[in-house]
Chains A and B, each alone.
Chain A
Amino acid sequence: QKEVEQNSGPLSVPEGAIASLNCTYSDRGSQSFFWYRQYSGKSPELIMSIYSNGDKEDGRFTAQLNKASQYVSLLIRDSQPSDSATYLCAVPMYSGGGADGLTFGKGTHLIIQP
Protein backbone atom coordinates (compact mmCIF):
# COMPACT_ATOMS: atom_id res chain seq x y z
CA GLN A 1 0.00 0.00 0.00
CA LYS A 2 1.23 3.46 -0.78
CA GLU A 3 2.56 5.68 1.98
CA VAL A 4 1.97 9.38 2.42
CA GLU A 5 4.12 11.33 4.86
CA GLN A 6 3.36 14.69 6.43
CA ASN A 7 4.85 16.65 9.29
CA SER A 8 2.23 16.51 12.04
CA GLY A 9 3.03 20.00 13.33
CA PRO A 10 1.59 22.05 14.80
CA LEU A 11 2.64 24.62 12.24
CA SER A 12 2.09 28.11 13.58
CA VAL A 13 1.79 30.99 11.09
CA PRO A 14 0.90 34.63 11.75
CA GLU A 15 -2.25 35.99 10.19
CA GLY A 16 -1.66 37.38 6.71
CA ALA A 17 1.46 35.31 6.08
CA ILE A 18 1.91 32.37 3.71
CA ALA A 19 1.38 28.90 5.18
CA SER A 20 3.35 26.13 3.47
CA LEU A 21 2.31 22.52 3.97
CA ASN A 22 4.34 19.64 2.60
CA CYS A 23 3.70 16.01 1.70
CA THR A 24 5.82 13.21 0.27
CA TYR A 25 4.53 9.97 -1.21
CA SER A 26 6.13 6.58 -1.76
CA ASP A 27 4.80 5.41 -5.13
CA ARG A 28 6.41 7.07 -8.13
CA GLY A 29 3.47 5.87 -10.24
CA SER A 30 0.91 8.01 -8.40
CA GLN A 31 -1.00 10.24 -10.81
CA SER A 32 -3.52 12.10 -8.66
CA PHE A 33 -3.01 14.14 -5.52
CA PHE A 34 -5.49 15.70 -3.16
CA TRP A 35 -5.54 18.10 -0.23
CA TYR A 36 -8.34 17.78 2.31
CA ARG A 37 -9.04 20.17 5.16
CA GLN A 38 -10.44 18.89 8.45
CA TYR A 39 -11.65 21.22 11.18
CA SER A 40 -11.57 19.89 14.73
CA GLY A 41 -14.49 17.53 15.31
CA LYS A 42 -15.58 17.69 11.68
CA SER A 43 -15.17 15.52 8.60
CA PRO A 44 -12.54 16.04 5.88
CA GLU A 45 -13.45 18.14 2.84
CA LEU A 46 -11.62 18.39 -0.46
CA ILE A 47 -9.99 21.75 -1.13
CA MET A 48 -7.51 21.06 -3.95
CA SER A 49 -6.63 18.37 -6.47
CA ILE A 50 -3.62 18.32 -8.78
CA TYR A 51 -2.61 15.91 -11.54
CA SER A 52 0.29 17.56 -13.44
CA ASN A 53 3.70 18.83 -12.45
CA GLY A 54 3.77 22.49 -11.57
CA ASP A 55 1.39 24.81 -9.79
CA LYS A 56 -2.38 24.94 -9.61
CA GLU A 57 -4.03 27.98 -8.09
CA ASP A 58 -7.52 28.35 -6.64
CA GLY A 59 -8.15 31.58 -4.79
CA ARG A 60 -5.74 31.83 -1.86
CA PHE A 61 -4.68 28.19 -2.29
CA THR A 62 -1.89 26.92 -4.53
CA ALA A 63 -1.00 23.25 -4.91
CA GLN A 64 2.47 22.40 -6.18
CA LEU A 65 3.48 19.02 -7.57
CA ASN A 66 6.95 17.68 -8.30
CA LYS A 67 6.68 14.06 -9.42
CA ALA A 68 10.43 13.62 -9.82
CA SER A 69 10.90 14.41 -6.14
CA GLN A 70 7.62 12.71 -5.14
CA TYR A 71 6.60 15.85 -3.38
CA VAL A 72 3.36 17.81 -3.24
CA SER A 73 2.75 21.00 -1.29
CA LEU A 74 -0.07 23.36 -0.43
CA LEU A 75 0.44 27.08 -0.05
CA ILE A 76 -2.14 29.28 1.64
CA ARG A 77 -1.67 32.98 0.97
CA ASP A 78 -2.96 35.72 3.26
CA SER A 79 -3.62 33.17 6.00
CA GLN A 80 -6.74 33.73 8.07
CA PRO A 81 -7.66 32.36 11.52
CA SER A 82 -10.41 30.40 9.75
CA ASP A 83 -7.66 28.44 7.96
CA SER A 84 -6.68 26.86 11.28
CA ALA A 85 -7.33 23.15 10.73
CA THR A 86 -5.63 19.88 9.96
CA TYR A 87 -4.63 19.46 6.31
CA LEU A 88 -4.55 15.94 4.92
CA CYS A 89 -2.65 14.90 1.81
CA ALA A 90 -4.07 11.93 -0.12
CA VAL A 91 -3.25 9.75 -3.14
CA PRO A 92 -5.21 6.91 -4.77
CA MET A 93 -4.40 3.60 -3.16
CA TYR A 94 -3.55 1.59 -6.24
CA SER A 95 -3.91 2.35 -9.89
CA GLY A 96 -4.18 6.11 -9.68
CA GLY A 97 -7.49 6.05 -11.46
CA GLY A 98 -10.85 6.85 -10.05
CA ALA A 99 -11.88 3.35 -9.11
CA ASP A 100 -10.17 2.91 -5.77
CA GLY A 101 -9.95 4.53 -2.39
CA LEU A 102 -7.55 7.15 -1.12
CA THR A 103 -4.56 6.72 1.18
CA PHE A 104 -4.26 9.68 3.54
CA GLY A 105 -1.32 11.12 5.38
CA LYS A 106 -1.79 11.73 9.10
CA GLY A 107 -2.16 15.43 8.46
CA THR A 108 -0.50 18.68 9.46
CA HIS A 109 -2.14 20.74 12.18
CA LEU A 110 -2.05 24.39 11.10
CA ILE A 111 -2.59 27.24 13.54
CA ILE A 112 -3.02 30.80 12.24
CA GLN A 113 -2.20 33.28 14.97
CA PRO A 114 -4.22 36.54 14.93
Chain B
Amino acid sequence: DAGVIQSPRHEVTEMGQEVTLRCKPISGHNSLFWYRQTMMRGLELLIYFNNNVPIDDSGMPEDRFSAKMPNASFSTLKIQPSEPRDSAVYFCASRAGQGAPLGEKLFFGSGTQLSVL
Protein backbone atom coordinates (compact mmCIF):
# COMPACT_ATOMS: atom_id res chain seq x y z
CA ASP B 1 0.00 0.00 0.00
CA ALA B 2 1.23 3.50 -0.85
CA GLY B 3 0.25 4.91 2.51
CA VAL B 4 -1.60 8.16 3.07
CA ILE B 5 -1.02 10.47 0.13
CA GLN B 6 -1.15 14.23 0.47
CA SER B 7 -0.81 16.95 -2.13
CA PRO B 8 0.74 19.33 -2.66
CA ARG B 9 3.91 18.81 -0.59
CA HIS B 10 4.58 22.53 -0.54
CA GLU B 11 2.26 25.46 -1.12
CA VAL B 12 3.26 29.10 -1.18
CA THR B 13 0.46 31.60 -1.59
CA GLU B 14 -0.39 35.19 -0.89
CA MET B 15 -2.68 36.40 1.82
CA GLY B 16 -6.31 36.35 0.73
CA GLN B 17 -5.94 33.50 -1.72
CA GLU B 18 -7.83 30.23 -1.49
CA VAL B 19 -5.82 27.15 -0.58
CA THR B 20 -6.94 23.56 -1.07
CA LEU B 21 -5.09 20.64 0.49
CA ARG B 22 -5.81 17.10 -0.62
CA CYS B 23 -5.60 13.70 1.00
CA LYS B 24 -6.05 10.11 -0.07
CA PRO B 25 -6.28 7.76 2.93
CA ILE B 26 -5.10 4.17 3.02
CA SER B 27 -7.60 1.92 1.27
CA GLY B 28 -9.93 0.26 3.76
CA HIS B 29 -9.35 2.78 6.53
CA ASN B 30 -12.59 4.27 7.79
CA SER B 31 -11.34 7.24 9.83
CA LEU B 32 -9.54 10.31 8.51
CA PHE B 33 -7.96 13.13 10.48
CA TRP B 34 -6.62 16.57 9.58
CA TYR B 35 -3.91 17.92 11.89
CA ARG B 36 -1.94 21.17 11.84
CA GLN B 37 1.58 21.43 13.29
CA THR B 38 3.43 24.57 14.34
CA MET B 39 6.36 25.12 16.66
CA MET B 40 4.24 27.14 19.06
CA ARG B 41 1.16 24.92 19.28
CA GLY B 42 2.45 21.50 18.29
CA LEU B 43 0.10 19.04 16.57
CA GLU B 44 -3.51 20.18 16.71
CA LEU B 45 -6.48 18.14 15.52
CA LEU B 46 -8.62 20.23 13.21
CA ILE B 47 -11.34 17.78 12.17
CA TYR B 48 -11.93 14.09 11.75
CA PHE B 49 -14.28 11.86 9.78
CA ASN B 50 -15.61 8.38 10.46
CA ASN B 51 -17.03 6.59 7.41
CA ASN B 52 -16.90 9.88 5.46
CA VAL B 53 -19.01 11.72 8.06
CA PRO B 54 -17.51 14.68 9.96
CA ILE B 55 -17.55 13.77 13.66
CA ASP B 56 -15.76 16.60 15.40
CA ASP B 57 -14.74 19.91 13.85
CA SER B 58 -14.21 21.76 17.12
CA GLY B 59 -10.55 22.18 16.27
CA MET B 60 -11.21 24.14 13.09
CA PRO B 61 -9.90 27.60 13.99
CA GLU B 62 -12.54 29.67 12.25
CA ASP B 63 -15.02 29.78 9.40
CA ARG B 64 -12.25 30.33 6.89
CA PHE B 65 -11.47 26.62 7.25
CA SER B 66 -13.65 23.90 5.76
CA ALA B 67 -13.17 20.19 5.11
CA LYS B 68 -14.99 17.64 3.02
CA MET B 69 -14.84 13.93 2.45
CA PRO B 70 -17.03 13.14 -0.56
CA ASN B 71 -16.00 9.46 -0.62
CA ALA B 72 -13.86 6.96 1.24
CA SER B 73 -10.76 7.67 -0.83
CA PHE B 74 -10.56 11.46 -0.88
CA SER B 75 -10.69 14.45 1.45
CA THR B 76 -9.95 18.15 1.11
CA LEU B 77 -9.12 20.92 3.56
CA LYS B 78 -9.82 24.38 2.24
CA ILE B 79 -8.75 27.75 3.61
CA GLN B 80 -10.48 30.80 2.17
CA PRO B 81 -9.21 33.46 2.52
CA SER B 82 -5.76 32.44 3.72
CA GLU B 83 -3.78 34.50 6.24
CA PRO B 84 -0.09 34.48 7.24
CA ARG B 85 -0.97 32.90 10.62
CA ASP B 86 -2.25 29.85 8.73
CA SER B 87 1.35 29.00 7.79
CA ALA B 88 2.06 25.54 9.17
CA VAL B 89 2.48 21.90 8.20
CA TYR B 90 -0.87 20.25 7.60
CA PHE B 91 -1.00 16.48 8.09
CA CYS B 92 -3.67 14.07 7.04
CA ALA B 93 -3.86 10.73 8.86
CA SER B 94 -6.04 7.67 8.54
CA ARG B 95 -6.92 4.78 10.82
CA ALA B 96 -8.19 1.30 10.13
CA GLY B 97 -11.01 1.16 12.65
CA GLN B 98 -12.05 1.21 16.25
CA GLY B 99 -10.51 -0.59 19.16
CA ALA B 100 -7.03 -1.54 20.25
CA PRO B 101 -4.48 -2.31 19.20
CA LEU B 102 -4.27 -1.76 15.45
CA GLY B 103 -7.49 0.22 15.33
CA GLU B 104 -5.98 3.07 17.28
CA LYS B 105 -2.83 3.49 15.16
CA LEU B 106 -2.78 6.62 13.06
CA PHE B 107 -0.95 6.52 9.74
CA PHE B 108 0.23 9.97 8.74
CA GLY B 109 0.80 11.36 5.29
CA SER B 110 3.95 13.30 4.43
CA GLY B 111 2.24 16.62 5.12
CA THR B 112 1.76 19.86 3.23
CA GLN B 113 4.04 22.75 4.14
CA LEU B 114 1.88 25.85 3.72
CA SER B 115 3.40 29.32 3.59
CA VAL B 116 1.07 32.31 3.35
CA LEU B 117 2.91 35.50 2.50
Contacts and interface: CB of A to CB of B under 8 A. Distances in A.
Interface stretch (B20-28, B60-68, B69-77, B101-109): B101-109
Interface string B2-39: 00000000000000000000000000000101000000
Interface of A is mostly: loop
A32 B111 contact: no
A82 interface: no
B42 A32 contact: no
Contacts of A67: none
A3 to B, nearest CB: 11
A2 B87 CA distance: 25
Contacts of A102: 45, 106
A98 B96 CA distance: 10
B33 to A, nearest CB: 5
Interface of A: 32, 34, 42-46, 49, 51, 88, 92-93, 97-107
Given A43-B91, A106-B42, 18 more contacts: A32-B100, A34-B104, A43-B108, A43-B110, A44-B43, A46-B105, A49-B101, A51-B100, A88-B43, A93-B56, A97-B98, A98-B98, A99-B55, A100-B55, A100-B56, A101-B33, A101-B45, A102-B45
A1 to B, nearest CB: 8
A45 B108 contact: yes
A49 B103 CA distance: 12
Contacts of B55: 99-100
